[in-house]
Structure 1
Amino acid sequence: MRLSTTAGREPGAAGDTARNPVRIWLYLVAALVVAMVAVGGATRLTGSGLSITEWRPVTGVMPPLSAADWAAEFEKYRGTPQYQILNQGLGLADFKVLYFWEWGHRLLGRVLGLVFFLPLAVFWWRGMLSRRLGLGLLGLGLLGGLQGAIGWIMVASGLKPGMTAVAPLKLALHLTTASLILAGLVWLAAGERRGRLAPAPGSVRAMAVALPVLVLVQIFLGGLVAGSHAGLVYNTWPTMNGALVPPASELFAVRPWIENFVDNLALVQLNHRLTAYLIVLLAVVHAVHARLSTPVGAAGRAAGIAVLALAQMGLGIATLLLAVPLWAGLAHQVLAMGVLVMATVHARLSLGLGQGAPAAPSGAEPAFGFEGFAGSGI
């Protein structure tokens, strides 16, 4: 079996062009993840997430097709606490709207799985993936499977007696895991860029890497805000009902105190606000620093992140002041994905690409494919 060497050739070599389809595919999958997050946000904001009471990975791909099927699904929903406490009297026509949001979200998840794993198998078989890239993609595939399980655990938390919505912590984990998958895809795709790119200075690199980490933390905190409906209280800015910071007696009113970080609406919203300020401050400082010490490309990316972060904060403030209308809440969630994508690409490129002498064909990294496995002993 021959050992594929496409991963180590000079930029512009014939073998290097094979990386373009992989890079395009990675960005396509990333776009589908953003779409998945958007539909998931709409599902949450419309209160549709508990309309399907079973997890059927295979047979659930088909929605109800007959009147009897719809009646059976509606009867299952009528047995949930959400219907009995919040939605009594909901008609079948309105139930169908809820159902199709959740069904569309799950269907998109299945499509996303196919778009990820089928080309992955083809690229693997043809030896078009380096070992490092292949292992990274398998890790993301496993994380995607875990994400599906987290999604069902989240839904199951809202079907328990007395519950009318999913648990905020589980929603935050579900959203953050999706964001991790998105960041991983974009990171790998950016690493497939052809050509040489010098690393940014050390301080610029440090801030560039810190930004996507902070954005992920903020997305988690945003998930807590969404899950606990903390955006429906303290609908003033820059104060929280007249105070820049509510008193400690209000922020830590829940016992035990650790639960305030998830269940106390005042503290949940305050943490989300403070992290937003920190991200904007770091993004602006980073943009100025990069402008003074790095080439145009890195400085331009840093400036783009600062603009996106400021826009995201402005949209978040508008969403809060308007008490979270559907359009604003959904736009705020999608723009967060845009900030994460931009910050992740910038962090990856700030580390440099193609540095050092290119490997000769005999010393190239083995491809992550059938031939690469056979030749490398893996």
Structure 2
Amino acid sequence: MSATDSVIIDVIHPAARRRERDRRSVRIWLGFVVFVLFCLVLVGGATRLTDSGLSITEWKPIHGVIPPLNAAEWQEEFELYQRIPQYQLVNAGMTVDEFKTIFWWEWAHRFLARSIGLVFAVPLIFFWVTGRIEKRLRWPLVGTLALGGFQGFVGWWMVSSGLTKLVSVSQYRLATHLVIACLIFSACVWIMRGLTPQKQGAAPTRHSYLAAGGLAFLALFQIYLGALVAGLDAGLSYNTWPMMDGAFVPADLFLRDPWWINLFENPKTVQFVHRCGAYVLLAAALIHMIVSLSKAPGSVHTGRAVILFLLVCLQAVIGILTLVYQVPLDLALAHQGGALVVLGYAITHWRGYIGEYPLEDRKAAAN
């Protein structure tokens, strides 16, 4: 080794160590963000399942952090709730103490949503100012933060749909709200995965990357269908499996006109489509695993394909139990949490085909 080579190594290695240290800090931060997002979605699911989402009838982004502190304030909040259709048509006669139960679910959901903004924004500013965030990640992270801010508006847009005519929020707006949350979750997982040292191996086929991306999309779409089911309480309508309403393909799926409106507003049709979506996802994960095992049995990507298939199987079992036992809170939340786990791992599996960023690393070392 020449003296020049020795000098270059001494210069590059400290820079590489510093870059890896910075990446590790960003990974830990994003990992915590992903955890809080996971908790936020679960609390949001509990809020929906307990019909608590309309208990706070005003949007107070700043002042709303402080809950009622005395009996007079609780009475004032309760009187606001008494003005909306949900109280008048569903919960008439509810006491203040009963109202407190649903209020705390919605307050916790909004509090976590506000907290995630700080958990994301403050470290982002710190890492940016101190130069710990690589340039290629800055705008993706800013875009994710902006999407989170927009999500706050969408949340209120969703709640407002149930304050005048409906006794619950619109299933369309609920699905939009959940999908945006999943996009933010996915973006954080994707970026965090890209900063994680990864074992490399040849892809089983030249289409494996596209197949992994397709599985991630199917997982997200299945969550969208599940949100429609939740918005219509369709999971409480037909609680048998594998048949539904006495048949594998129930009658009267398209009673409403136009026919396509049944896909969004007919509880029977919405639940049937959600079931079909689960079968498609399971079949796609199985095929992806079989192809990977046959083409590259020892590949790290194949191992991930196997794990993804097993997670989808577990999620299917939880979904069936949730349905058969008529959507108890614990199983329903396990099913929602399982959906996020499947989505997160599908994103991780997809991102794994890209590996780390060797080109950027080489450029950084050269500079």
**Does the alignment reach a TM-score above 0.5?**
yes
The residue number in structure 2 matching 1:368 is none
The residue number in structure 2 matching 1:330 is 333
Residue 124 of structure 1 aligns with an amino acid whose one-letter code is W
- Distance, in Å, in 1 between the alignment partners of 2:345 and 2:238 is 30
| Alignment CA distance shift 1:125-1:187 (3 Å) | same
- Distance, in Å, in 2 between the alignment partners of 1:221 and 1:62 is 34
Fraction of identical pairs, as percent: 43
- Distance, in Å, in 2 between the alignment partners of 1:51 and 1:116 is 27
* Partner deviation per Cα, 1:117-169 (whole Å, 9 max, x = no partner): 000000110111122211111111111111111110110001112x1100011
Residue 333 of structure 2 aligns with an amino acid whose one-letter code is L
Q: Which residue of 56, 62, 70 maps to 2:74?
A: 70
State the secondary structure of the residue aligned to 1:29.
helix
The residue number in structure 2 matching 1:319 is 322
Count, aligned residues: 354
The residue number in structure 2 matching 1:193 is 196
1:358 deviates by: 4.2
Answer yes or no: is the 8 Å Cα contact 2:198–2:355 preserved in 1: no
- Distance, in Å, in 2 between the alignment partners of 1:153 and 1:25 is 30
| Alignment CA distance shift 1:10-1:261 (3 Å) | farther
* Structure with bigger RCO (C-alpha 8 Å, 6+ apart): 1
Residue 336 of structure 2 aligns with an amino acid whose one-letter code is Q
Answer yes or no: is the 8 Å Cα contact 2:211–2:288 preserved in 1: yes
* Partner deviation per Cα, 1:37-67 (whole Å, 9 max, x = no partner): 0000111111110000000000000000011
1:258 deviates by: 2.5
Residue 172 of structure 1 aligns with an amino acid whose one-letter code is A
Give unpaired runs (5+ residues) of structure 1.
Answer: 1-7, 365-378
State the secondary structure of the residue aligned to 1:90.
coil
- Distance, in Å, in 1 between the alignment partners of 2:72 and 2:179 is 38
Residue 281 of structure 2 aligns with an amino acid whose one-letter code is I
Q: Comparing 281-290 with 119-128, which one deviates more in the overlay?
A: 281-290
- Distance, in Å, in 1 between the alignment partners of 2:313 and 2:13 is 41
1:148 aligns with 2:152: yes
1:103 deviates by: 0.3
* Partner deviation per Cα, 1:300-330 (whole Å, 9 max, x = no partner): 2111111110011111111111111111111
Matches of residues 79-228 of structure 1 in structure 2 within 5 Å?
79-161=83-165, 163-194=166-197, 197-198=200-201, 200=203, 201-228=205-232
- Distance, in Å, in 2 between the alignment partners of 1:273 and 1:47 is 24
Answer yes or no: is the 8 Å Cα contact 2:50–2:102 preserved in 1: yes
Residue 120 of structure 1 aligns with an amino acid whose one-letter code is L
1:350 aligns with 2:348: no
Matches of residues 227-246 of structure 1 in structure 2 within 5 Å?
227-246=231-250
* Partner deviation per Cα, 1:155-214 (whole Å, 9 max, x = no partner): 0001112x1100011111111111111111000000111367356232221211111110
- Distance, in Å, in 2 between the alignment partners of 1:357 and 1:351 is 13
Residue 55 of structure 2 aligns with an amino acid whose one-letter code is S
1:259 aligns with 2:264: no
- Distance, in Å, in 2 between the alignment partners of 1:339 and 1:63 is 35
Answer yes or no: is the 8 Å Cα contact 1:199–1:353 preserved in 2: no
| Alignment CA distance shift 1:22-1:91 (3 Å) | same
Give unpaired runs (5+ residues) of structure 2.
Answer: 1-11
